[in-house]
Amino acid sequence: MPTYVYDFDQGNKDQKDLLGGKGAGLAEMTNLGLPVPPGFTISTDACRAYLAEGAEPAGLEAEVDEHLHTLEERMGRRLGDPDDPLLVSVRSGAKFSMPGMMETVLDVGLNDRSVVGLAEQSGDDRFAADSYRRLLQMFGTTVLGIDGEAFSDRMDAADELDTEQLRMVVEDFKAIIREHTGHDFPQDPREQLRLAIRAVFSSWNTPRAALYRRQEQIPDDLGTAVNIQAMVFGNRGQTSGSGVAFTRDPATGDQGLYGDYLTDAQGEDVVAGIRNTIAIADLAELDRTSYEELLRIMATLEKHYRDMCDLEFTIEDGHLWMLQTRVGKRTAEAAVRIAADMVDEGLIDEDEALRRVTGDQLVALMFPRFAPDPSRQPVTTGMNASPGAAVGKVALDSDTAVAWAERGDDVILVRKETTPDDLHGMVAARGVLTSRGGKTSHAAVVARGMGRTCVCGAEAIRIDLVNRRFEVRGGPTVEEGDVISIDGGTGEVFVGEVPVSDPDVVRRLEGEDVDDPVADAVERLLERADAVRRLAVRANADTPEDAIRARRFGAAGIGLCRTEHMFLGERRGLVEDLIVAEDDAQKEHALTGLEPLQRSDFIEILTAMDGLPVTVRLIDPPLHEFLPDLTDLAVRVALEDERHDEDERDHLMLAAVRRLHEHNPMLGLRGVRIGLVIPGLFDLQARAIAEATAERIAAGGDPRPEIMVPLVASERELALIRAQLEAVVATVAEEQGVALDIPIGTMIELPRAAVTADRIATVADFFSFGTNDLTQTVWGFSRDDVEAAFFPAYRDQGVFPVSPFESLDVEGVGDLVRTAVRLGRSTKPDLHMGVCGEHGGDPASIHFFDEVGLDYVSCSPFRVPVARWEAARAVLGAT
């Protein structure tokens, strides 16, 4: 018989799979000797078994009985005893925290008789009645599935009710339960416990929990643990209360403790924004002893976890109890700051700091901010709960936010407070603004987790849902649909659209002198990353400006210089001439017109990347992309004919465009096929590259071009083109009297190329994996056609968790990459290999490329720092 239940002192912090995050944290604190109300954890195994079978697995009931008995012995009270009841909480807790997504029931064990016992034992009638009405409400909604609205109009005013009124509420709530379920509220405490445990198990599968998991990429099959814990009471008057805290500021990473505390409150009250909380520092005045003990505990936890922790605590009549801890969620800013600070404090080393901050967090730090402008005045300022600059139309409820986002609008979700039911609105919105709640409110926690900009607790705002607008005290009235801008870094709220600019981190990476601790931390850890990583990082850059920026961001060359733009604009005419040329002389004329223009393009790029490799990809897209649109041209020719004003060139062009028209251009005449079918174009490009190189050498530079042939499927294609290109380069070398050493390699972007890579390697100096086309051809779908059309449905049905164009499909496409690497190196052990698809800047894909032994990744200039970072994290085994 498997074991399903563990006492808190039987577990530890590393058992999150089995005990869930909350259970593991409770166990760890118990073992550290911190004041934790005793209890036990039902493992995730039991939940998975329950969900699979639709019933408690055999043996679970008996185990729960046994552990409950031990708990009763320890506490000297029996669950729901009429004279002196033990009450327990029944708390969900999955491996990964899912704030507010699943259920917890407090005060289990109260009934019509034990509520009298509780009142007598505590000497506090009001407290007992208040606890009972809380149980009825929580049990009614979470266990019995009654809509929260049914209870809620009584709830807002609960603080002001006296004992008699609370007792009436209790009777009302019992009636509501009877009315909605056809049964009385279960009076048997053990029955309450059984039903609550079931409800927690089942809450794993609520739609909102499933949505949250998809959003956060948490697997669906983990299940939740259930923690049964003796209740402690923060709702016993002014010497009691409950709070949440972080050991450092989760928004900025600043040192010092952060959190909210509410006197005479239980559980969720503090995060629900029902009353206004006080800052944790002010607890010192209310209850110095508990405050100081809390400080000591926080220091213990930080040292022990070697990380920033968040925690929940309750003070019952001057006695402090710890109810939860875990490594706290934080913004990207805070993540880098805390990691770097902890290196200074000797808690961790720089490698651990790198492991803790993901490349995605670095990306978040590089997003634009509102441009500083002292003359701009916020209409109000709330709390800076989750950073970023968000601009959008005000939406006052989540359904509206989703509807407007779907039609393409940027929206800011503005709510009094958010609840787990607002998740879809928060996902759809650019930013979230609330008028109540602190940095630990639902809005703040969830927004930080999602990387969504959030300003919370902007108390000057009064939302008027009837007239669909909000008023700012002493300020304007803003209608739903008006544009506002919110700054999650400062908490400022602006009416209208505020322009954005680069953040300090980017300015520092660009070489500017900025005074910013986040930029300091990033720079320092990037230096370490460069020392650790094995992969080189190049950039995809087509212009000198991009090349220069990429260099400043630390690129070791260009891995993909596209040449398409060199045929566009005013040069189009020459391309058209080339296509309609009737004889070699005309063709030659067009080509010689294009060559000097391209040569000067290459000179600029080689100058910008002097001393570093520049991989130039010969023309890739289908030729007709450089020609006039078929319909436009057909109409023009038809009109000309009607007017008997025929233009011979237009006719020739129309014929050419018709000839080149393709139903599947992606699979048509492009890449190396153009080079073989329309001789001259590749030669022209090779000549331009070779002459630019010669000129740079003559000018004393150190040009390092490499020529890359796209869309090769067979060795023969590359061999033919290679011979042609080599001849051109040799001619130029002779003409100019310089030695030119220009490697010629190929893209591996077709399945056939990957599986014949050993043979292709005989005629290639290097490989560069074009993982975009490889993904398209392996899956057999064209990105432009399918991504918007059916990827959402594919994600929903679990065909893939993310688009294979965003993150490399390791199983399929990755397998071909691995094969090609192996085959290529079986021919040439030192064959230089990189990747130039967009995956080169994607964290998960970078880890894969490191693992299969590529030499470099190439990505957009903006992502170069991220790639440097993740390449190091790959070596350090971070995930």
Q: Which residues are catalytic?
A: 442, 836
Cα–Cα distance, 215 to 801 (Å, whole number)? 10
Cα–Cα distance, 234 to 225 (Å, whole number)? 25
Nearest-CB residue for Mg ion: 773
Residue closer to ligand ADP (CB basis): 243 or 425 = 243
Contact partner, 231, from Mg ion, ligand ADP, none, Cβ < 5-8 Å per class: ligand ADP
Residue corresponding to tokens 């061999």:
719
Of 622, 770, 804, 834, the one binding Mg ion (CB under 5 A) is 770
Of 100, 117, 503, 557, the one binding ligand ADP (CB under 6 A) is 100
Contact partner, 323, from Mg ion, ligand ADP, none, Cβ < 5-8 Å per class: ligand ADP
Nearest-CB residue for ligand ADP: 267
Greatest C-alpha distance within the chain? 108
Q: Which span (337-345, 396-404, 680-688, 742-750) binds Mg ion, by CB under 5 A?
A: 742-750
Residue closer to ligand ADP (CB basis): 324 or 380 = 324
- Measured in whole angstroms, how far is the alpha carbon of residue 835 from the centre of its chain? 23
As measured in angstroms, the least distance from the Cβ of 29 to ligand ADP is: 13
Of 11, 267, 710, 770, the one binding ligand ADP (CB under 6 A) is 267
Residue corresponding to tokens 């995956």:
839
**Which phi and psi (to 5°) does residue 311 adopt?**
-150, 155
Are 519 and 505 in contact by the 8 Å Cβ rule? The answer is yes
Of 283, 323, 343, 816, the one binding ligand ADP (CB under 6 A) is 323
Q: Can you state the angle between helices 864-875 and 843-852, rounded to 10 degrees?
A: 50
Helix segments in 782-842, DSSP class H: 783-796, 813-827
Are 2 and 42 in contact by the 8 Å Cβ rule? The answer is no
As measured in angstroms, the least distance from the Cβ of 145 to ligand ADP is: 18
Contact partner, 809, from Mg ion, ligand ADP, none, Cβ < 5-8 Å per class: none
* Strand 278-279 to 255-263 pairing: antiparallel
3-state DSSP call for residue 230? strand
Contact partner, 252, from Mg ion, ligand ADP, none, Cβ < 5-8 Å per class: none
Of 106, 354, 521, 778, the one binding ligand ADP (CB under 6 A) is 106
**Which phi and psi (to 5°) does residue 613 adopt?**
-65, 140
Q: Is 89 in the site for ligand ADP (CB under 6 A)?
A: yes
Contact partner, 773, from ligand ADP, Mg ion, none, Cβ < 5-8 Å per class: Mg ion
Cα–Cα distance, 441 to 773 (Å, whole number)? 45
Cα–Cα distance, 506 to 866 (Å, whole number)? 12
Helix segments in 517-583, DSSP class H: 517-532, 544-552, 572-580
Of 46, 143, 232, 713, the one binding ligand ADP (CB under 6 A) is 232
| Identity at 260, one-letter amino acid code | D
Q: Where are the beta strands (DSSP E) in 22-81?
A: 39-42
Residue closer to ligand ADP (CB basis): 129 or 657 = 129
Q: Is 267 in the site for Mg ion (CB under 5 A)?
A: no
Distance between start and end Cα atoms, the chain: 35
Within 10 Å of residue 584's Cβ, how many Cβ atoms? 9
User: How many residues make contact with ligand ADP (CB under 6 A)?
Assistant: 16
Q: Is 312 in the site for ligand ADP (CB under 6 A)?
A: yes
Residue corresponding to tokens 């499933």:
210
Within 10 Å of residue 221's Cβ, how many Cβ atoms? 9
Q: Which residues pair with 539 in a beta bridge?
A: 558, 859
Residue closer to ligand ADP (CB basis): 104 or 540 = 104
Q: Which span (98-106, 364-372, 807-815, 818-826) binds ligand ADP, by CB under 6 A?
A: 98-106
Q: Which span (5-13, 125-133, 638-646, 765-773) binds Mg ion, by CB under 5 A?
A: 765-773
Residue closer to ligand ADP (CB basis): 274 or 713 = 274
Of 417, 542, 691, 773, the one binding Mg ion (CB under 5 A) is 773
Retrieve residue 778's tokens.
């392996």
Are 858 and 539 in contact by the 8 Å Cβ rule? The answer is yes
Q: Is 324 in the site for Mg ion (CB under 5 A)?
A: yes
Q: Which span (40-48, 227-235, 290-298, 633-641) binds ligand ADP, by CB under 6 A?
A: 227-235
Residue closer to ligand ADP (CB basis): 229 or 453 = 229
Contact partner, 37, from Mg ion, ligand ADP, none, Cβ < 5-8 Å per class: ligand ADP
Cα–Cα distance, 804 to 781 (Å, whole number)? 11
Within 10 Å of residue 87's Cβ, how many Cβ atoms? 24
Q: Is 622 in the site for Mg ion (CB under 5 A)?
A: no
As measured in angstroms, the least distance from the Cβ of 192 to ligand ADP is: 15
As measured in angstroms, the least distance from the Cβ of 776 to Mg ion is: 8
As measured in angstroms, the least distance from the Cβ of 401 to ligand ADP is: 23
CA pseudo-torsion sign 526, 530, 535, 538: positive
Question: Interface residues with ligand ADP (CB under 6 A)?
Answer: 37, 89, 91, 100, 104, 106, 229-232, 267-268, 312, 314, 323-324
Question: Interface residues with Mg ion (CB under 5 A)?
Answer: 324, 749, 770, 773
